[in-house]
Structure 1
Amino acid sequence: MDKPNLEILLIDDHPLLRKGLAQLINEEEGLFVTGEAGSGQDGVQLALTLEPDLILLDLNMKGMDGLETLKILRAEGVDSRVVVLTVSEHREDVARMFRAGADGYLLKDMEPEELLIRIKESASGRLVVDDRLAEVLASILRPVQEEKDPLEVLTSKEHEVLNLVAEGLANKMIARQLAISEGTVKVHVKRLLKKLGVRSRVEAAILVVKQHSEES
């Protein structure tokens, strides 16, 4: 049975901000904060235990920062959508987080109502980026788009999986669509990312979008 609410994990080392976010999110129908972590280490453990649908991750944390936390999450096979929520507008930070596997990058000074909208958009499979950073993201991902035909290295099954990834489907839904196990989907995703030379589902999806636009 599908979960009635979108389960969200908060990873941020500021207790007051976490409590405020949790209250804001829990008051919104269909959203539920399933856990809170005050450090990257605790966040990784909770992500592995709770398997949330979405993780809101702070970038500048004491000890293990958001970048290292994200890398460990992806290395551990956590396929929850991860949206960075930070104060940093630096191009290098945006680039590093997306290349490490982030699905979104939002700024903490955005309006609360806008944050809730972006959370829901991310959960539906969309890439969410603060409007002020849209041009930055485009310039970061442009080199990836210059590959001649990177998808030809994939098997037919990997193509099927990749197309569903590009539609924003989580591994569980891809498994249902293709009538294979979720574990098998994870293996396919890991292999196709390696073959394509990209580090995140977002970068892989961009390649699919580019190919479709060229074919149309």
Structure 2
Amino acid sequence: MTRAQILLVDDHPTLRQGLAQLISLEDNLDVIAQAGSGDEAISLAIKHAPDLILLDLNMKGLSGIDTLIALKRAEIDSKIVIFTVSDSESDVLQAIKFNTDGYLLKDSEPEELIEKINLAIQGEFVISAPLTKILARSLRPESKASSPLENLTQRELQNLKLIASGKSNKDIANTLGIAETTVKVHVKNLLKKLGLKSRVEAAVWAVEHKIGH
């Protein structure tokens, strides 16, 4: 089995070690390196090209956001997920603005954290459950999602409900008994109809409009 390689970036060594021990219990995950600063993270990311970078937000020196921006500019292909104690709306939205692949809270349950890490490696945008409503509240004033639900087909509505519940395209395909490529078409169509740009916006929109509840 090929193990996904992970780079941990946090200026607290004790936290890094604890996180590394948790991840090491998984057969499919491997902590390839650890960095205590943004500058070190950039150097190690270039050297190791990890599958995933777990990046602390509030670090001394180069901040998590500045590190995220620098990694993107360096064209690092790794998935980059913010891992922080901050549930601030401004922090969440700023991270998304600069194309993070996820935003997870440090008080996440171990099982949830491992699940989200695996989803992020597979290409899914991941976010801690408590932040979904924060996103919805923050995006509401600027929401472009004014199209009525009547514009969605029954199948597109099913896809939207499953996206809101955190399902990946593969999970949706298995649930509905259709091909994953078909799911991607449905998702693309429903995003266009609702005036949205991404799956995370669709999940937020669904929460706002109580879809599936």
Normalised TM-score (structure 2):
0.67
Aligned positions, number: 158
Cα displacement (A) at 1:27: 1.3
Counterpart of 1:50 in structure 2 is 48
Letter in 1 for 2:77: D
Counterpart of 1:195 in structure 2 is none
Question: 2:87 matched to 1:89?
Answer: yes
Counterpart of 2:135 in structure 1 is 137
Cα displacement (A) at 1:124: 1.4
What's the secondary structure of 1:72's corresponding residue?
Answer: helix
Unaligned runs of 5+ in 1: 149-166, 169-205
Name the CA distance, whole Å, in 2 between partners of 1:89 and 1:37: 23
Which of residues 98, 105, 121 in structure 2 aligns to 1:107? 105
Counterpart of 2:2 in structure 1 is 4
Name the CA distance, whole Å, in 2 between partners of 1:144 and 1:80: 30
The residue correspondences of 1:191-206 to structure 2 (distance < 5 A) are none
CA contact (8 A) 1:145 1:210 kept: no
Counterpart of 2:192 in structure 1 is 211
Cα displacement (A) at 1:137: 2.6
RMSD: 2.7
What's the secondary structure of 2:115's corresponding residue?
Answer: helix
CA contact (8 A) 2:146 2:194 kept: no
Judged with a 3 Å threshold, the aligned counterparts in structure 2 of structure 1 residues 50 and 106 are, in CA distance, closer, same or farther, namely: same
What's the secondary structure of 2:123's corresponding residue?
Answer: coil
Counterpart of 1:14 in structure 2 is 12
What's the secondary structure of 1:78's corresponding residue?
Answer: coil
Unaligned runs of 5+ in 2: 148-168, 171-186, 196-213
Q: Deviations over 1:140-174 (max 9, x none)?
A: 556475699xxxxxxxxxxxxxxxxxx79xxxxxx
The residue correspondences of 1:58-69 to structure 2 (distance < 5 A) are 58-69=56-67
Structure 1 residue ranges, 4+ long, deviating more than 2 angstroms after superposition:
136-148, 206-209
CA contact (8 A) 2:145 2:194 kept: no
Letter in 1 for 2:23: I
CA contact (8 A) 1:87 1:109 kept: yes
What's the secondary structure of 1:60's corresponding residue?
Answer: coil
CA contact (8 A) 1:25 1:31 kept: yes
Judged with a 3 Å threshold, the aligned counterparts in structure 2 of structure 1 residues 79 and 61 are, in CA distance, closer, same or farther, namely: same
Counterpart of 2:122 in structure 1 is 124
Q: Deviations over 1:98-134 (max 9, x none)?
A: 1111111111111112111110111111111110001
